[in-house]
Structure formats: structure tokens, C-alpha cells
Amino acid sequence: MEFDTIAAISTPMGEGAIAIVRLSGDDSIKIADRIFRSISGKRLMEVATHTIHYGHLLDPKTEEVIEEVMVSVMKGPKTFTKEDVVEINCHGGIVSVNRVLQHVLSFGARLAEPGEFTKRAFLNGRIDLSQAEAVMDLIRAKTDRAMNVALGQMEGRLSKLIRGLRQEILEILAHVEVNIDYPEYDDVEEMTHKMLTEKALYIREEIKKLLQTSQQGKILREGLSTAIVGRPNVGKSSLLNSLVHENKAIVTDIPGTTRDVIEEYVNVRGVPLRLLDTAGIRETEDIVERIGVERSRQVLNEADLILLVLNYAEQLTQEDEKLFEVVKGMDVIVIVNKTDLQQQINLEQVKKLAANHKLVTTSLLEDRGVEELEEAIASLFFSGTIETGDLTYVSNSRHIALLGQSLNTIEEALENVENGTPIDIVQIDLTRAWELLGEIIGESVHESLIDQLFSQFCLGK
């Protein structure tokens, strides 16, 4: 498969030690050779693959020096895209790197689309679709464990399992074909039904095992949406600052200081939390605060975890009790804050309202109880630990949906076999399951979906 030559900046924009402009395509080395002059005098068209060279980028017409650079030359197919790749290392600055990119584009390269380098790696057969998606998961990983899950997927751990399941289905389909072609042999039909049931049961259990990791995997990939709620001035912003270990939110004794939802990512025992510090929920005449309260209610409905904060130095109010009603049925950790002050709250009443929810007492002013809270969060979703070494986590929503559909199709096939449905009807269900699993790794997927997936990548990846 032949493509034109693309180029893009592969490092984040801004000031830094170096920046990289990457080219990929048949003319990559040719374009770089026209504008690069090595100190050694060697031409890039003549150098060995996977070598790096020091020199300058020049304007061939005027011989004006554009930049001082190091140029890496990597010839396909032993590259990320399986094409010829050139990486120009220049000084890290917005002006310098853009100048290099524009110079490269003026000599025949095309600006790459978002994710186009990874898309070419997929289309050229170097990686499958699930591995390509793992590249973006790796870039966006918020914790070491999330990164390990993405690395496992990049290395093909999920792909290997999916290919194995598809092979099992192919073996079933081959036996079904024999049954259809030779219906006069009763023993063939009996053997086919027996093998079909055994294999389908095995495939069903393997898919169920993968789906059992999906909640944890999705949390590791996307973060746990965590809303900090409570009445004004109970310590919600102090809690956010304690978990983030930085003064991100303004803390005062004045109720209603937080007027909007504040969002911040934090790593709690390997669990990435997307913390949302909400405006205190109460009835108010202040129009700005009222808008903040409405946004807080909306965030509450969309959160995966609720941290409900109460004040140790105040008695429970009707507003507190209403909050317990609002979060009923959700994953909630109740936090009684300000234990450094004199107790006014009735803890027995709190325990009764909290029901089966975890209850933690804290003094955020004195930094007490934060470790217990972190342990409670980790235990709620991962039983206190996350094993990423031997377990294949399914973290991508697209993969989870396709596995769920595959499971339903396999169960329909098993039900049809049990009901004595003709074997050619069962074959339709099995073929559909095979296709659905193929969509995960990109072996049976529409081009429009591929374009949509890679459009979500960052430019230059």
C-alpha cells in the first residue's frame, strides 16, 4: 500500500530543549536530503538506516541556514509506520519548530492528519486496531497502572486472546459446513452439535472473564468521575486540595466561596480520579451561586463516586439529609470533616443515614484521615489492589460494547442448539460473533469507523 509523504510536529508545542518534526512516506528521505547539509558531508540518501546525523537545515535557493538540527533516518519496513521515516530534532520553541515544519512542507510533504502516523502503522499491518487505540491510551494514562494496562494492550495481549477466540469459532464453523454438506451422516451431526456446545461454552466463559475486568479497566483508562458534595463550608475545597496535594481551590470560612465546578485529576493508590469540587448545595438567592448549585446537581447525577462531606462541628440539617436521599443507590463515601473542632454532629445518626456506605472521619486542617479515605476509595473499586501483571484488562468502551454483543450472540447460538434449531441458523449466530470480535482488532471494520477513531488522536502521532 503506497501513501504520500506526511509531516507533523510530534512533540508538545511550547518551550523546551528539543522539538521533533516527523516525516513518513516514500519521499521522506528525499525531501530531508534536499534541505539538510551534514557536517560530515554525507547525503541522507546514501546513509545507513537507523542512523542520526548532525548538521543544518538550509534553503537550497539562498543557502540560508534555517536551523541547527540532528536528523534521524529510518528506512522501512523496520519503522513505526513500515515506511521510510525521518525525524528532525531541532531547538524546542514555537517559532523554531514551526519554521522547520513549514520548510519541510514547502518541499513536498503534506501536513499529517490527527493520528495519521498510527493509522498508517495499522493500515500497513504493523499493529492491529486495538494496539493502535492503546497508543492513545498510553499517551493519556494518568497513573502507572493505567500505563501498564495500555502497554499490555500495545504488546498485543488483548489481540492474542481475541484471535484465539476467533480461531475457535472458525473451527466450529468448519464442522458446521461438514454437517451441511453431508447431512446423510447422523454421526457427523451428533459430533458437530457436541463440539459446537463445548466450544461455544468455552468462548462464552472467556468473553465473560474479559468483561469482568471492564469496569476496572475503564476506570484506569478514563478515570473515576468523583464528585465532592456537601453543604457550603464543610471542607469540600480543602478535601480537593488534600487529595491533589496542591492549593487548587480557594478555601475560606465564607459559605458559597466555590461558585462553579472545579475539575482536577489525581492519582489515589493507582486509581485515577477526575475530582469535581462542586458548589455547596443549598437554597440561595444569589443568582451566580444558584447557577453553581444547579451545575453541582448535574455533576452529581453523572458521577461514578460521591464523596459526601459533613461538618463534625455542626448538627445535621435537613439539607444534609436531603443529600443522603439524592445519592441513594450510588457509590458513596461519607466524610465527617473538621474533627479538630468540638463535636456537634450525632455520629450514630450519620451511620444510620449512611447505611452500607463507608464512613471516614477527617481533619483536613491537621491532615488526619486522608490515608484512610484513599484506602476506602481504592477498596471500593479494586478491593484495595490492582493487579495489572497477568490480567488482561478491557478498558476501551468500544471493545466492551463489542464483547457484550459477541457474548449475546454466542448465548443465542447455545440456546438455538438446545432448542434443536437447524444447524445453518446456528451458523449465522457464530459468524456474527466472529465478525464482532474481528471489529475489536480491525479485521472486519468499516473504513468510516477507522477514520473516526484515528481523528481522536493528537496531531503528529
Q: What is the set of domains in the chain, with CATH numbers?
A: 6-112 (3.30.1360.120), 132-213+394-444 (1.20.120.430), 224-382 (3.40.50.300)
Looking at residue 255, what is its pLDDT?
42
List the one residue out of 333, 334, 341 whose CA is nearest residue 312: 341
Rounded (10°) angle between helices 214-222 and 370-382 = 130
| pLDDT for residue 196 | 83
Residue 183: pLDDT band with limits 50, 70, 90 = low
The confidence band for 208, taking pLDDT boundaries of 50, 70 and 90, is very high
Residue 240 confidence (pLDDT): 81
Choice between 327 and 113, residue whose per-residue pLDDT is larger: 113
Please report, rounded to a whole number, the percentage of residues in the chain having pLDDT higher than 70.
83
Taking residues 283-302, what's their average pLDDT? Answer: 55
Q: Judge whether residue 258 has pLDDT over 90.
A: no
Q: How far apart are CA 390 and CA 302, in angstroms?
A: 32
| pLDDT reported for residue 320 | 84
Which has the closest alpha carbon to 145: 389, 400, 419, 454?
A: 389
pTM, two decimals, is 0.68
Share of the chain above pLDDT 90, in %: 30
Q: Is the peptide bond before 12 cis (omega within 30 degrees of 0)?
A: no
- Interacting residues of 191 by C-beta distance below 8 A, sequence separation 6+: 175
Q: How far apart are CA 314 and CA 235, in angstroms?
A: 12
